[in-house]
Amino acid sequence: MKHVSKILLSTMVLGAIAASPLTTFAAEDGEHGGVYNSNGVIEFTPSQDPTDPVDPTDPTDPVQPIDPTDPEKPVEPGTNGPLSIDFASSLDFGKQKITSEDKVYLASAQPYQKLGEDGKPTGDILYGPDYVQVTDNRGTEAGWSLTVAQEKQFTGTANHELTGAAITLKGANIQTASESAKPTPNASDLTLVPGEVSPVMSAQAGQGAGTYLNDWGTKDDLSVVQEDGKEVTKTNNIQLAVPGATTKYAEKYSTKLVWTLTDVPGNSDPEGNA
């Protein structure tokens, strides 16, 4: 029993020595170990790379939009630089019969395809709300403003004007995967006046870093209708009102929408007042 007790006592003494401040002294004098600090660092710079359009219903998913006004032609690429317009829907109001009644025509929904792992379009054509997409990769959260202008009234191929026709964009809502504070749509509903600039959405200082979509409506606002003998997916949130009294010639009418993005931060007042 005495022998056993001595072993236990020795173990306890060694344990006490191991837990004593002597170990700290040994580490500090460098003979048996020490502490060393190294660093980790990363620096971000403004990105000049273009940003792909993304799914208007899922902003984490890049897609290839299709222009409903010219489906066989690739869509125009977005603007260059760290503050960019990546995409804006073109509006197709279809082929309509001439009438003397006041009419409201719906725009086609935005068609697009998902991108495969190789970056090429794949799978079925899908439909979502019409939208405009903006990216701010400046790394400043300095804010920005987006406007749109209908260059002039709808004009026919023989230069006839569709007098009194008006485009209205309804149900504006912002989609993003960014954690930066969301910009705001300047108005839920927007009626364009030919030749005039209209604010669309804006980010104040401290907002709007990353990619943002201004959708007009949601997938719930889409419907399939028969038009010119075929099924067409329409959105209820972009409309063209044409007065019955307007003279309509048997020709195709068109107009241009000019989207402008500036580095001017948005105003906290959505009406633009000081």
Q: What are phi and psi of 4, to 5 degrees?
A: -60, -45
pLDDT in tens, 92-104: 999 999 999 999 9
pLDDT score for 2: 38
Backbone angles phi, psi at 5, to 5 degrees: -60, -40
How much is the pLDDT for 18? Answer: 46
User: What is the spatial distance between Cα 265 and Cα 207, in angstroms, rounded to a whole number?
Assistant: 9
**For residue 189, is it within any domain?**
yes
Is-above-0.95 flag for pTM? Answer: no
Evaluate whether residue 273 is within a structural domain: no
Structural domain containing residue 98: 54-262
- For residue 29, the model assigns a pLDDT of 59
Q: Nearest 5 degrees, angle CA 165-CA 168-CA 173?
A: 165
- The structural domain count of the chain equals 1
pLDDT tens, position by position, 190-249: 999 999 999 999 999 999 999 999 999 999 999 999 998 899 999 999 999 999 999 999
Identify whether 179 is part of a domain: yes
Q: Quick check: 17 and 24 in contact, CB under 8 A?
A: no
Q: What is the pLDDT of residue 272?
A: 42
Residue 18: enclosing H or E segment and its boundaries?
A: helix 2-18
- Check residue 28 and give its pLDDT: 56
C-alpha separations of 132 from 110, 148, 185, 249, 250 in Å: 11, 10, 11, 31, 31
Residue 60 lies in a domain: yes
CA distance 171 to 130: 11
Is residue 145 domain-resident? yes
With CA atoms as reference, report the closest residue to 177 among 137, 218, 210, 134. Answer: 210
Which pLDDT tens digits describe the chain residue by residue (274 residues)? 433 333 333 343 444 444 445 444 445 556 789 999 999 999 999 999 999 999 999 999 999 999 999 999 999 999 999 999 999 999 999 999 999 999 999 999 999 999 999 989 999 999 999 999 999 999 999 999 999 999 999 999 999 999 999 999 999 999 999 999 999 999 899 999 999 999 999 999 999 999 999 999 999 999 999 998 899 999 999 999 999 999 999 999 999 999 999 999 997 444 444 3
201 in any annotated domain: yes
Residue of 156, 186, 130, 122 lying closest to 255 (CA atoms): 156
